[in-house]
Amino acid sequence: MGRHNFDATILEGLLSRGDERVGPLILAAFKKGVRLDAWDEHLRQNMPLWDEAFAAAGWDVKGWIFRNWDTEEELPWDGVSLGPAKNFYKREWQKSFEHVLTARCQHSCSHPCGVCNNKVDVYEINSEEFFLGSLQNKTVVRPKVYPESNIPVLYRVVFYFTRAFGGEFTAYLSQVEIFHKAILRSGLPFVYSSGFNPLPRIEFCSAMGLGIPSYEEVASCLLYEDIPQEKVMEVMNSVLPPFFKLTQVMVFPVTTMRKREALSQGVWGGEYRYKFKDAFSRDEFLASQQAAPFVGGESFSSINKSDELNAFTVRLPVSDKKFRAAIEEWSGKKWYEVTDAEKIHTLAKGAIQGWTARDEENWRNDSKNFVKDGTLGGSENEITSFMELYSRIAKVNAELIVKKQALDEHRAEFYKEHPDVLKKHQAEDEAKDRKNNENKN
């Protein structure tokens, strides 16, 4: 049998039943170091701090949370109105004990709740008539229909975006949902997944740590049409909240002749900036045993001290999670009590594996003895930007598209000279289609 976290229940009761005294209480708990209470492991550590804040509040906090409420007394949220009057809620409360259902809202209402008035009313419409009328008035436009598969060329969008000025406190899944809604609102011809619940085919390079601003995150999606890079940036920034902002966009054609690389395939790590607070010494930490694995050695990390007092930048493979853990081990405190942190760049590998024009040529010339090379980019240990890496990938796609066009032209010319071969191949294709349909049925 599952159960809800009891400590979380207390905080939920505080937020849902509290009055104007709750704001100062939350601020007091925050000043004591309370953070990230949505995660059980953090809440377990933070609950003693909450209890201290409760004790210092000057009122019986838990008694207020767990008390019974009378329907006639004034409630903390009486000043918040969504339309229905308080008496309507009282009647609904009583009907729930009597197991009586309330009829649905309709024009001739037998149970007025207070929402309808001279300007707001309930009425029924025919959805088809509404849609056709909207088309005639040009308030709704039928979306263009694209094929779901076997599209020779799509257009890949790779873009940088900032996740700061409040965006750093957005959970990863909420970030995904925000971009889904922005893409839907943009009206641009983005590619969606197939099925009953189509979603934009967008991927993010990495999931950033909560509370750490980032000025260069990487994401990618697909377009059916070649849209100018400037327009993609302008339109997306107009429909995204201000704390998510596209700063650079690349759009290039991709072919079905090769598998598209996932962003995670090319990620090397990131470059971060840390600034220690006055009570802590940057130099002492960098000279400590905890920092030793990140200073030279085989970690591939690199640290540069800034001219600014107590600040430095560091390049770290994969993420900075282990580096923040080292700061906590050295200081005995949470990392955010010791330093401010922000991500400056997301870094890519200089070389990744993928199908190249050279592979295509070698395979067509000698498929039996073919050995895949498939190395894109520079040296194995090179670190570069994602835009540089994907400019190399864009070049490979462009070469393969040209090669595909040349092959199509050669095939058309061959069939023109040998119509009997064309008829034979068409008959074979038709027979294959009939067999596939029979197997499906």
Whichever domain contains 173, its CATH number is: 3.30.70.580
* pLDDT score, position 168: 92
Nearest to 394 by CA among 218, 150, 232, 154: 154
Task: With respect to residue 216, please indicate whether it lies within any of the assigned structural domains.
Answer: yes
Backbone angles phi and psi of 266, in degrees to 5: -100, 0
* pLDDT score, position 1: 67
Residues 270 and 319 in one domain: yes
Task: With respect to residue 140, please indicate whether it lies within any of the assigned structural domains.
Answer: no
Residues 159 and 61 in one domain: no
**Any idea of the CA torsion for 306, 310, 316, 318, to the nearest 10 degrees?**
-130
Instruction: Give me the amino acid identity at 372.
Output: K
Task: With respect to residue 425, please indicate whether it lies within any of the assigned structural domains.
Answer: no
Q: pTM for this structure?
A: 0.67
Helices and strands, counts by H and E, the chain: 15, 11
Look at the chain and report how many structural domains it folds into.
4
| CA gap 365, 306 in Å, rounded | 55
Residues 280 and 331 in one domain: yes
| CA gap 32, 40 in Å, rounded | 18
Residues 176 and 253 in one domain: yes
Residues 209 and 303 in one domain: no
Residues 388 and 299 in one domain: no
Residues 342 and 370 in one domain: no
Task: With respect to residue 200, please indicate whether it lies within any of the assigned structural domains.
Answer: yes
Residues 201 and 215 in one domain: yes
* pLDDT score, position 174: 93
Whichever domain contains 292, its CATH number is: 3.30.70
Indicate the residue among 240, 260, 280 that finishes a domain.
260
Per-10-residue mean pLDDT of the chain, 441 residues long, equals 84 90 92 89 92 93 89 83 84 90 81 78 69 58 70 91 93 93 93 87 89 94 94 96 96 86 89 92 90 70 75 89 93 92 92 72 70 68 88 87 82 86 84 77 62
Residues 285 and 341 in one domain: yes
* pLDDT score, position 369: 72
Indicate the residue among 45, 66, 87 that finishes a domain.
66
Task: With respect to residue 10, please indicate whether it lies within any of the assigned structural domains.
Answer: yes
* pLDDT score, position 140: 54
SS3 state at 45: helix
Task: With respect to residue 438, please indicate whether it lies within any of the assigned structural domains.
Answer: no
* pLDDT score, position 374: 64
**Any idea of the CA torsion for 352, 353, 354, 355, to the nearest 10 degrees?**
130
Count Cβ atoms within 10 A of the Cβ of residue 246 and give its class: 0-12 exposed, 13-18 middle, 19 or more buried. Answer: buried
Residues 255 and 270 in one domain: no
Nearest to 299 by CA among 316, 311, 312: 316
| CA gap 261, 401 in Å, rounded | 17
Task: With respect to residue 244, please indicate whether it lies within any of the assigned structural domains.
Answer: yes
Task: With respect to residue 119, please indicate whether it lies within any of the assigned structural domains.
Answer: no
Indicate the residue among 66, 84, 105 that finishes a domain.
66
| CA gap 72, 75 in Å, rounded | 9
Residues 196 and 251 in one domain: yes
Nearest to 270 by CA among 385, 348, 347: 347
**Any idea of the CA torsion for 388, 394, 399, 403, to the nearest 10 degrees?**
160
- For 270, the token pair is 């990131």
Residues 361 and 344 in one domain: no
- Domain range for 390 is 353-417
| CA gap 312, 334 in Å, rounded | 19
* pLDDT score, position 61: 92
Backbone angles phi and psi of 429, in degrees to 5: -65, -40
